[in-house]
Amino acid sequence: MHSSSEKSAASVTAAGKDIPDFSKGLAGIVAGRTAICSLDGNLRYRGYSIESLATNGDFEEVAYLLLYGELPSTTEHRGFCQRIAAAASSLDPAVTAALAELARRSPSASPMDALRTGVSILGQIELDQTPGSRESLLAQAECLLGQVPAMLVAWIDLSAGRAIAPWPAGTIASSLLERLTGRVPSANGVAAFGSTLVFYAEHEFNASTFAARTVVSTGSDMHSGITAAIGALKGPLHGGANEQVLEQLTQIASTDRAEAWVSEQLAAKHVVMGFGHRVYKDGDVRATLLGKMCRTMVRGTSGEELERLAERVEQIMLERKKLKPNLDWPAARVYHALGLPVRVFTPIFVVARMSGWAAHIIEQIGDNRLIRPMSLYCGPAPREYRRP
């Protein structure tokens, strides 16, 4: 529906004609069909509930499901993991050389910018100009699933002024966690980290996925679509929210301060990151599931204090705004408990969502129509040109 100002502006230009309805931000608008993900009642990937996938499968299994449409057999899973690991272990020297030069000039630059740049360079190296066959697109997707986490840890090493360490053997969850923390992770740590990758892997027509689909709908290539998606995810209203969640909790510091802090934010009309969702009005099932995992993971540790603070903020937000947490709220706490620096929170989101982005790109290319919505003009009425 229009706001009063939108109606007024539209009326002037419509010259008394009926004004078509529009939805700001495309909220509630169905823009296409997908067989990849459903948010109807319960989040499902290819028909499987997110709870069953997060508690029973690993990230590679879920990524295979998103790309190929079915869960892998034992043999398919093993081969898929081997191909991803091979891609992670053999990042093109041109990419690492470019990242090294960028790190030398701007070591404090965002890892998100490094990933966006790295994927663009990969597209140029591979001469990825127009979409190929489904088989070639799947091969590109598998390579990117390994290359993106490898680029992330390469940037972390290079921006710290050290040589790039080798990619460890193991799953994406265990290898990436080991590289980001510098130590061999516990089985519980890998399980919790892997669950966040599964939760972040896919979420229908979100902003970054829609950006990727829009790019490839023009006939463009996989790498261009992924580059655009990373740019969209960087924004604080999308992927960047998980970093701001921990910053908020750090600002609040104690449960005694929670009520006053929330009141200050609401009075200033600031968004409290980690709460509310454009689609989920009754709560984000991913936040509920990961919140339970987080509380279990930190039980008996100093992390329990942060959980008590988070629980108090949740209570206040529910009472004051009727808002429940979204996935970013517990994910930030899980990453903090695992000892991960804040600046890699959103890049980890990229690592996970690579699977969903690639699946959507392949689906869009397979049944394509140019994405080109219309707009409702609300500028000046027709006027004659006169030089001032």
The Cα–Cα gap between 257 and 255 comes to 5
Catalytic, out of 203, 277, 336, 360? 277
DSSP state of 25: G
Task: Collapse the DSSP code of 342 into the 3-class scheme (helix H, G, I; strand E, B; otherwise coil) and give the result.
Answer: helix
Annotated active-site residue in 2, 77, 113, 238:
238
DSSP 44-106: EETTEEHHHHHHH--HHHHHHHHHHSSPPPHHHHHHHHHHHHHHHH---HHHHHHHHHHHHH-
Annotated active-site residue 238? The verdict is yes
284 is catalytic: no
Output phi, psi for 49, to 5 deg.
Answer: -65, 145
Q: What's the rounded Cα separation, in Å, for the pair 116 and 113?
A: 5
The catalytically annotated residue of 128, 223, 328, 360 is 328
For residue 271 the two structure tokens come to: 């968004």
27 sits in the region (left: phi over 0; alpha: psi -120 to 50; else beta) called: beta
Angstrom distance (rounded) from CA 312 to CA 238: 24
Indicate which residues carry an active-site annotation.
238, 277, 328
